Amino acid sequence: MRNPLALILTLVVLAPGSVAAQDGFWVSVGGGAAGNRVDCETCEEINRYWGPSGFVRAGGTVSPHIKVGGELHFWQASIEDTEAYVRGIQGLVTWYPSTSGGFFGQVGLGLSRIRSSFDVGDEVVGAAEVGLSVSAGVGWDVPLKEGVYLTPRVASVVVPVATIDTPAGPLDNVVSTIYRFELGLTFR
């Protein structure tokens, strides 16, 4: 099992001939599942929630190894019968170690909005806050046909906010970390 794993890792990074040279405008759309780990200064414990996630991203090509662009992304979940979401916009830098392989690493920076709803008996109260979003991930462009790629990606987006006011009191210095497991279609 271990030998094939090393072989696969080597092939993923270095495999030649699977993707055409990077060039020009590109757009990608897709979605998947994501887990959100929520922690804060006044929280008694770290909570984890799962929900669907999605994205649209587009951009241009700086060099054969580098693409830059922007991304709109969302995650949402139902927590104890109320809705919570994180929606964001961020700039992305994508790096292809080999221009003849599809493997890439990606880092991003932007803003996200966290919103949670709280059932306080006879009504549902919402609380929202805008924070920074910082992301890092890896993925692979698998060619389907000329100009079209299937793009599996694993990424993490971290969204810190100073306070979320809840009916039970403020949650201070919240850090929401979303682990995104997504599949996309990339056109270029």
Contacting positions for another protein (CB under 8 A): 2-3, 5-7, 9-10, 13-14, 16, 21, 37, 39, 46, 62-66, 93, 95, 97-100, 105, 107, 109, 111, 130-132, 134, 136, 158, 160-163, 170, 172-173, 175, 177
Q: How far is the CB of 117 from another protein (least distance, A)?
A: 20
Q: How far is the CB of 73 from another protein (least distance, A)?
A: 17
Nearer to another protein (CB atom), residue 16 or residue 147: 16
Contact criterion met (CB below 8 Å) for 135 and 158: yes
Q: How far is the CB of 5 from another protein (least distance, A)?
A: 7
Q: How far is the CB of 25 from another protein (least distance, A)?
A: 18
Q: How far is the CB of 49 from another protein (least distance, A)?
A: 14
What are residue 108's DSSP bridge partners?
92, 135
Nearer to another protein (CB atom), residue 77 or residue 157: 157
* Closest by Cα among 139, 136, 113, 163 to 32: 139
Q: What is the C-alpha to C-alpha distance for residues 141 and 151, in angstroms, rounded to an integer?
A: 5
61 to 64, 110, 140: CA distances (angstroms):
7, 19, 17
Q: What is the C-alpha to C-alpha distance for residues 86 and 64, in angstroms, rounded to an integer?
A: 33
Burial class (CB in 10 A: 0-12, 13-18, 19+), 123: exposed
The DSSP H or E segment spanning 6 is: helix 2-14
